[in-house]
Amino acid sequence: MSDSEEQLAPDLIHHQGGVVEHVSGDEVHVSQSAVRTITGQNVTVRQGGAWHVQANDIELLQSAAVGVRGESISLQGTATAVAISEHAELTDSRAGLVIGGKVQMSNSPSLIILAREVHGDVETYLDTRAALLAGVAAGVISGAFFLLGSLLRGRRG
């Protein structure tokens, strides 16, 4: 089995270097590695990359991830496309979409934040209200194009 096809699944994992397809365990520590999918109870990624991370408690330090989902997440010096959590803390990080119950931000710009509570210096392009308005506008525009297309197709036949 090559490094890129490796799958790891014991209770405690310390993985450093290389590329792994899937890592799963109660306690997962990944350092300077690339992992497609990480699942577990407590996950720590230090200077690594992951496509998808799902766990109760997640800590990403100087890392990158496409999707992060957990009960509690902490991102420090990390970039992610989507972060979903009941409690999220972002420090010196970048995020595309942050969804959560309580979000703490420190020097962490994002595109969209959808949360019940947001604390810290929030730097976002779209807040909850603007995101909802953008969604409504996109729905109205796509509905208008659909209706126009239906009317044009109806006249031809």
The amino acid that residue 136 corresponds to is V
Pairing of strands 79-91, 94-106: parallel
Over the chain (157 residues), what is each successive 10-residue block's mean pLDDT? 46 64 88 91 94 96 96 97 96 94 93 90 76 86 88 71
Q: In the prediction, which pLDDT does 1 show?
A: 39
Q: Are 23 and 10 in contact (CB under 8 A)?
A: no
Per domain, the residue ranges of the chain are 3-126, 128-157
Q: In the prediction, which pLDDT does 78 show?
A: 96
Q: In the prediction, which pLDDT does 133 show?
A: 85
In 3D, which of 87, 78, 86 has the Cα closest to residue 60? 78
